[in-house]
A = this chain, B = another copy of it.
Amino acid sequence: MQHKGFVRTISIVRPSLNDNTADAQRLEQSLKKELSIDNILIPLSVLKKLPSNLRSWNFEAKAVLFKNRYSWILVDLLDPASDRIVLGAAIDIGSTRIVISLVDLETLQETGEAGFDNPQAAIGPDILTRIHYSNQDEGLTELNSLVINAVNLNISKLCKEHGFKNEDIYIVTGAGNTAMTHLFLGIESFEIIKEPYIPCVNIPDTLPAKSLNLDINQNGVAFLFPNIGSYFGGDLISGILFSNLDQKENPSLMVDVGTNAEIVVGSKEYLIACAGAAGPALEGGVSKMGMTARPGVIDKVWVDPDTNDLKVHTIDEKKPVGICGSGMIDLAASLFLSKRIDIRGKFLKQNCKKELMEKDSIMEFILVDKNDSGTGQPICLSQVDLNSLTSSKAAMYTILEVIVCNTAGLNFKDLEKFYVAGTFGSFINPVSAISIGMLPDIPVETFEVLGNSSLGGAKVLLKVPDAFERVMKIRKSITYIELNVNQEFMNMFSGAKFYPHTDTSRFPSLQISV
């Protein structure tokens, strides 16, 4: 069955002596009627054999369509009797990891997915290094080729794995942050990181895939999500699309916690966004033992109600080798709830007892004994690590407060939905996050995990034609607020650095006796 997506089987009115309209305009008429639209572009590649194709196909055809800002685009016209699959590829163009998902544009089924590390990491793990590199001779070309070649390679692999061909792919939708989008397009990126931080482009047009050297169907097109500035990229616009925030009756919120925390609050009436350097401690790399999720990494921590001991769960239940962001939040919550730390987030020697050791004058909490560890070393959390987490959770809460309460003028309890996006967010236990005062104390069912919302939005754009206009509208309607780290912010931040907060009345569910 065909859905009302970007592939439509249409009938074209047959010509007669009384109606000498050209084949192309005849086709236009059918498409305009099918889509209820006025504007459509037919490419030269389709025109070349249109007369004989229409006649051999008995004036029926399968149209592969997409859009640009001003019109629909006929991407290709196919034999309606052909059983060749028509695919789209949604790409989350992450600076660390890239994920490609194939979508059958007729059935709207997802037919394959592949993730791989962004090979630009070889030039520099962070975007800043890459953009500096892009400003050297051939640097941009090299960075561009790295990502495009990797995408092509993985598209080929994915197709081979599932019995498809690269030319079965007609549309690519890609969502990435502003810098990655620029590097993917091969356009100058240097001004993004230089005051006043100006991207080359906010709204990339739909382009021939060939012009980006993407190895898909030769008539294929590619569209990258637009951005609203250097610090609010297409990945977030894609996430908003995926969350349907722009269509909510009541205010909702989406937070994407990566290196930065990007937050959008709003509804169908308005969208307010900000991005802040909230969460470095929440992703692997900052804490000495922090790491990204992989087998053996501690992803859950809880207090045994009988013994008051801390219990851990590891990914794939291997011997513990470290702890990831969500495990860190659980751990902090467990430490606080079991009174192993005080409301300032400092270890309480009297309650930790043997679990604490001092190393280079810094207190370290031994979560896993070296005998139980997969590394032969104990798994520890130092006071320094914890302070970093405390700052991060305080920053997150403060930013949420600024945007939801001070800017949008809402109370947290007004939020219908609180979407947590990003791979990291998928694993956060909201109860733990509330316990440490990182997330506001609202009903647990309000929280919803979106997973890879950047990829999700790119898939929506392949499946739902109206999504294109929603993307443009989202981009246009977002009010982006610059976070001013002023005295007021610092005062709020100070209160939020406590566990859960200086104002405990904000966290009634914790039933803290003051």
Contacts and interface: CB of A to CB of B under 8 A. Distances in A.
A200 B71 contact: no
A170 B127 CA distance: 37
Contacts of A22: 198-203, 227, 229
Q: Is the interface of A mostly helix, strand, loop or mixed?
A: loop
A227 B195 CA distance: 52
Interface centre among A42, A71, A199 (most CB of B within 10 A): A199
Contacts of A196: 15-17, 19-20
Interface in A356-390: none
Closest 3 CB pairs of A and B: A24-B201, A22-B202, A22-B199
13 contacts: A20-B198, A22-B203, A22-B229, A39-B69, A44-B185, A44-B205, A44-B207, A44-B212, A47-B201, A47-B204, A48-B188, A49-B188, A50-B188
Nearest to A207: B44
Contact of A198 (B15, B197, B204): B15
A191 interface: yes
A42 to B, nearest CB: 7
A408 B196 CA distance: 64
Interface in A167-212: 185-188, 190-191, 195-205, 207, 211-212
B51 A188 contact: yes
Interface string A20-45: 11111100000000000001011010
A222 to B, nearest CB: 10
Nearest to A201: B24
B195 A48 contact: no
A196 B199 CA distance: 54
B69 A211 contact: no
A199 B207 CA distance: 28
Given A23-B200, A25-B202, A55-B191, 20 more contacts: A15-B198, A16-B196, A21-B198, A22-B199, A22-B201, A22-B202, A22-B229, A23-B191, A23-B201, A25-B203, A39-B70, A41-B70, A44-B187, A47-B200, A47-B204, A49-B188, A50-B200, A51-B198, A51-B200, A52-B190
Contacts of A19: 196
Nearest to A24: B201
A267 to B, nearest CB: 25
Nearest to A191: B51
A263 B171 CA distance: 46
A17 B187 contact: no
A230 interface: yes
Of the listed residues A42, A51, A69, the one surrounded by the most CB atoms of chain B closer than 10 A to its CB is A51
- Max chain B CB contacts within 10 Å: which of A68, A185, A191, A201? A201
A48 B17 contact: no
Contacts of A16: 196
Contact of A230 (B20, B50, B68): B20
**Which of A17, A185, A200, A212 gathers the greatest number of chain B CB atoms within 10 Å?**
A200
A212 B207 CA distance: 18
A478 to B, nearest CB: 13
A24 B203 contact: yes
